[in-house]
Amino acid sequence: MRSAWLDIPLADYEGHMAYPSVGQAQLLADRFERLVLRYLPKSVALIGCAGGNGLQRLAAGQLERIVAVDINPHYVEQSGIRHSHRLRNLELLCADVQSASLSFAPVELLYAALLFEYVDVSLTIMALRLVAPEELERCATGCGFAPMDSETVFAASGKQFCFQTFRSR
Q: How far apart are CA 17 and CA 39, in angstroms?
A: 26
Q: How far apart are CA 115 and CA 104, in angstroms?
A: 18
pTM score > 0.85 for this model?
A: no
Average pLDDT across the chain, whole number: 88
Q: What is the pLDDT of residue 120?
A: 56
Return the domain boundaries, the chain. Answer: 4-123
Q: Is the pLDDT of residue 130 over 50?
A: yes
Closest CA to 66 of 42, 39, 43, 98: 43
Stronger pLDDT, 153 or 84, i.e. the higher one: 84
Q: How far apart are CA 57 and CA 169, in angstroms?
A: 29
Kindly list the strands in the beta sheet with 65-70, ordered across the sheet, starting from the edge strand earlier in the chain. Answer: 90-94, 65-70, 43-47, 109-111
Band (pLDDT 50/70/90 cuts) for residue 161 is: confident
Give φ, ψ of 104 to 5 degrees.
Answer: -155, 160
Q: What is the pLDDT of residue 125?
A: 41
Topology (CATH level 3) of domain 4-123: Rossmann fold (3.40.50)
Give tens-digit pLDDT for 36-91: 999 999 999 999 999 999 999 999 999 999 999 999 999 999 999 999 999 999 99
Q: How far apart are CA 96 and CA 150, in angstroms?
A: 26
